[in-house]
Every structure is written in C-alpha cells, then in structure tokens.
Amino acid sequence: MKSSSFKTRCSYVIMGLGQFLYGQRIKGLMYMGILALYLWYLITAGIGDMRGFFTLGEVEADPWLGTAGDDSVIMMLRGILSFLILAAVIIFYLANVKDIKVTERLVGDGKPLPSFYRSLLSFVDKKFYVVALFFPVIGVLIFNVLPIIFMILIAFTNYGGNIVPPKLIDWTGVDNFIQIFSLSGIKGTFFKILGWNIVWAVSATLINYFGGLFLALLLNKRCVKGKALWRAFPIIAYAVPGFITLLGFKFMFSYGGPINYYLKAMGESSIGFLDIDAGWKARIIGLLVNAWISIPTSMLLATGILSNMNNELYEAAALDGAGRWKQFTRLTLPFVVFSTTPTLITSFVGNFNNFGVFYFLRGGLYLDDYFLASDTDLLINWLYNLSIDNNYYGIGAAVSLIIFIITSAISLTAYVNSSAFKKEDTFR
C-alpha cells in the first residue's frame, strides 16, 4: 500500500510516471510524452508567447530601415494559443490524476490491470461521446473559439485608426466602451438599428420557415406527380450562389433594370426601389429576396423531417374521423415544430447576422440620422462599416461584444425555454 501511494504520488509530479511504474507502460509513456512535448513547447516558444500576450510587443518595426519589430496582433494570438494549450495540459493532468487513482484502487483490490488495448476499446465504447466529439471540439476551439477570444480581447485595445501594424498596439482597458457610451450619435444609431434588426430577424425567420414548410407539405401531397422535378426548381435557385442572386436582384430593381424598364414602357415613372429614401420599400424587398434565397434550404429540411413521420399516426387519426386541418394542427405541426425548433433558433441567429442581403442590395449608403449606416443596415452591416470600411477594429470589436451579449441572452433564453431543449425525448 505504501509503495503504491508513492507510485501514485509520482504521477502527481510527473504525469504518467505512476502509470508507468504500475506496469501500464504505453499509457504512462503517452502521458509522459505529452508532458515532455509541453515542456519543450514552453521553453522554445510558450513562455515568450505568454509574456508577449501582456506586453503586446516592445520593439516597433520599421520597414524603411529594415528593422524587424514585434507584431502585436500575432503576439496576442500566440498568447491566447499558449493559454489554450496550458488549459489542455491541465485537463490532461487532471485526467491523469483520476486515472492513477483508479489504477491504485484496482491494484489495492488485487485486481489485474487491463491491457492498453482493452482499456482503449472499453474507453471508446463507454465514453463514445468523448471520442466522437474530440475532433469537432478541437476544430471549433481553434477556428471559432480562438478567433472569438481574440476579437473580444481586441475590444480592450487601441487597435485601429492610425494604430495598425507595424505600430504597436496596447491594452487600454474599457476606454473603447466609455467612448461608445459617451458619443450620442452612436447610441442613437445603435438602438435604431437594433430595433430594425429584431424586426428583420423575426419576420425573415418566420417567412422562411413557414414558406419552406408550406412548400414541403405541398410537395408531399399524394396527388403531386413528379415530386423530384417540382422540387428541382427551388433547388436550382439554391444552387446559384447567394451573392450572385443578390447582385442580380439589385440590378433588377435598379433604375436601369428590367422592372423599371417595363414600368416606363407602361408610361409610369421609374421607382427607386433601393434608393436613399426607399425606406420600407427596400426593407420589404430585402425580406422577399432573402426568402427567395433561404426557402429552398428550409424546404429541403422540412422534407427530410416530414419523411421521418410515422404514417400510422395519420391513418389512426383518419379512422378517428379527424379532418385534414385537425390532422395538420394536431399531428404535423407539433411534430415539425418540435424537431425544428433548434433550426428556428439557428435560422433566427443566421438572419440576425445576415450580412449579405443589405451589403449587396444597398451597401455604401450613409444616411443623415445614422452614424455611418443606413436605415436598412443590420447591426452586422454597421459593424462592417465601423471596423472594416473605417478601420476602427477596437471600437468595432467593442460594439460587437455588446451586440453579442444582447443577442446571445435573447436566443439563449428562447432556446433554454423551448420544448426541444426541455423535453428532448417527446417523440422517441
């Protein structure tokens, strides 16, 4: 017992050493390998990267003189990465501690230790979810979480305006947020755009959702022959890349476009559908164009889900004398809504952050009562104007952080209270 607890303690100091001493050679070596790798990384780059995260560079580069300096943004990114790696190693360390305790107990009980291969197999079976989620989580961590952390941190720096590489960037705390709230123009614009953004997201989501459902139901009717062919028309529309469609529609509604051509041919005067003072005209066109682009996808989805419905339910209902409308409201709708609530939420999120529609249809307009935006711009378009067109990365990041907190609060509440989240097993 005493020697085993010594072996256990070995793993507290050098992870994997205990397992190795207990005779679990491969597992022990793997843990030690990870530790060695990490130490090597720390010495060659890790420590410097962590330090760089706080300083964000000390030597300014001067390309004219050929002096290589520090690149603040790269240093920030590598700094974040070094902390993520540290977190991963800590997780491994904790797993190692847990593992050595299990081993210790097994040895204490006098049971044989499983071979590496056997324990691997049982791990894959019992903890299938860990294995299955490993790659997705790693991918999301590097390509989604890391950029998001980076961006959140940018909100606390003076990046942007005149301060872009090779100049050094500095941490400035909450200065950006103070600046946003002290400017009257920004606040007014923010709430105006937020209001429209919510109206847009709700109506676009509903239109696309019910449009797709309606189409899918229509095509599911028994009397419709050649379903694949009928379904192909929306698919063809879907196959044309979205931005091309948007440019096409922009042209159609322009002064020189076909719609105005026919209006003029009929003796009417042309209409500026997407003009400066188009207002709601442009907004409604945006909704319709967006529906045209998105309905095919939601139709595909609804078709897939409807095909999953149990026909016996309908037959039973029909025997009970339920009418078609009743069948729809009592059976189809609850089923479809249940299995697509998450989709509704994703689609809401997608529409909330729908950058393309108004960027292509009506980009580059700055209206009077708005700060660097127009009345059709969504928050994401405004962000684009702020941070890309006008180079205010820091401010843009701060605004997007605020937007992000608001929107994620809304959608998280909606999601947590949805039946799909609460009662996942309803239709099992």
Partner 1 sequence: MINGGKKAISLMLAMTMLSTVSACGKSGAAKGASSAEDGEITLRILENDTAKEKGYLDELLTAFNEEYKDKGIQAVDANMEEYSNLAENGPYGYGPDVIYQANDKLMAYAEDKHILALNREDFECADKIPDEAWNAFTLSVDGKQYTCGIPINVQEPMLFYRKDMLPEGWESNWDGDGNGIPDFLEDWSSLYKYSEEVVNTSNGEKYGLVAPCNDLYMMAEFFFSYGGYIFGKTEDGAVNSEDIGFAKKDAAKGMMALKQFSGIMSEECLDDSIKQSRYSKVADGTYFCSISTPDTYVLFHDRLKEVYQNEGLSESEADEKASENLGMVELPAKLPSSGDLTSGEKDIDTIVMGGVNGYGISAYTEHREACIEFVNFASSYDMVKKRADILGIAPTRSDAASDLGGVTSMIFDSLNAGHIYLMPSVKAVDQIWDPVGTLLSDVAKDAFREKKNETVKYADESQMQEALEGTSKSIYDAIYTLSN
Partner 2 sequence: MKKEKTSEVILTYLILILVSFVFFFPVLWLILASFSSSGSIYDFEGFFPKGYSTATYVKLFTDTQMYDYPSWLRNTLFVSGFSSVISTVLVILTAYTMSRFRFRMRKPLMKTTLILSMFPSFMGMTAVYLIMINFNMINNLWSLILIYSAGAPMGYLVQKGYFDTISNSIYEAARIDGATNPEIFRKVTMPLSKPILVYTALTSFAWPWSDFILPNMLLKNRDLWTVAVGLTHLGETEFSRFAAGAIFIAVPIVILYFSLSRFLVAGVSDGAVKQ
Contacts of partner 2 in 13-52 (CB under 8 A): none
Contact partner at residue 262 from partner 1, partner 2, none, CB < 5 to 8 Å by partner kind: partner 2
If you count them, how many residues does the chain have? 428
Distance of CA 279 to the CA centre of its chain: 30
Under DSSP, is residue 229 helix (H, G, I), strand (E, B) or coil? Answer: helix
Reported as type and span, the H/E element at residue 120 is helix 116-126
**Candidate segments 52-60, 99-107, 169-177, 310-318, binder of partner 2 by CB under 8 A:** 310-318
> Quick check: 172 binds partner 1 (CB under 8 A)?
yes
* Rounded Cα distance, 385 and 18, in Å: 57
Contact between 269 and partner 2 (CB under 8 A)? no
Q: How far apart are CA 383 and CA 402, in angstroms?
A: 11
**Contact region for partner 2 (CB under 8 A) — 15-23, 31-39, 173-181, 350-358?**
350-358
Could you tell me if 373 and 382 are in contact, meaning their C-beta atoms sit under 8 angstroms apart? yes
Exposure class string for 34-49: b at 16+ Cβ within 10 A, else e? bbeebeebbeeebeeb
Given 57, 79, 257, 286, the residue binding partner 1 (CB under 8 A): 257
Q: Does 366 bind partner 1 (CB under 8 A)?
A: yes
Q: Which of 145, 141, 201, 195 is nearest to 350 (CA)?
A: 201
Kindly state the tokens that stand for 306: 């409807």
Q: Which residues pair with 163 in a beta bridge?
A: 160
Q: Which stretch binds partner 1 (CB under 8 A): 3-11, 132-140, 231-239, 266-274?
A: 266-274
Residue of the chain from 16, 46, 79, 160 that contacts partner 1 (CB under 8 A): 160
Closer CB to partner 2, 15 or 75, in the complex:
75
- The CA-based diameter of the chain, rounded to the nearest angstrom, is 100
Q: Residue 74 CB, nearest distance to partner 2 (Å)?
A: 6
Is the Cβ of residue 151 or residue 198 nearer to partner 2 in the bound state?
151
392 phi/psi in degrees, rounded to 5: -90, 75
Interface region with partner 1, contact rule CB under 8 A, candidates 98-106, 134-142, 161-169, 352-360: 161-169
Q: Is 145 in the site for partner 2 (CB under 8 A)?
A: yes
* Residues near partner 1 (CB under 8 A): 61-64, 71, 158, 160-167, 172, 175, 179, 183, 185, 251, 254-257, 260, 269-270, 272, 274-277, 364-368, 371-372, 374, 386, 389-390, 392, 394-395
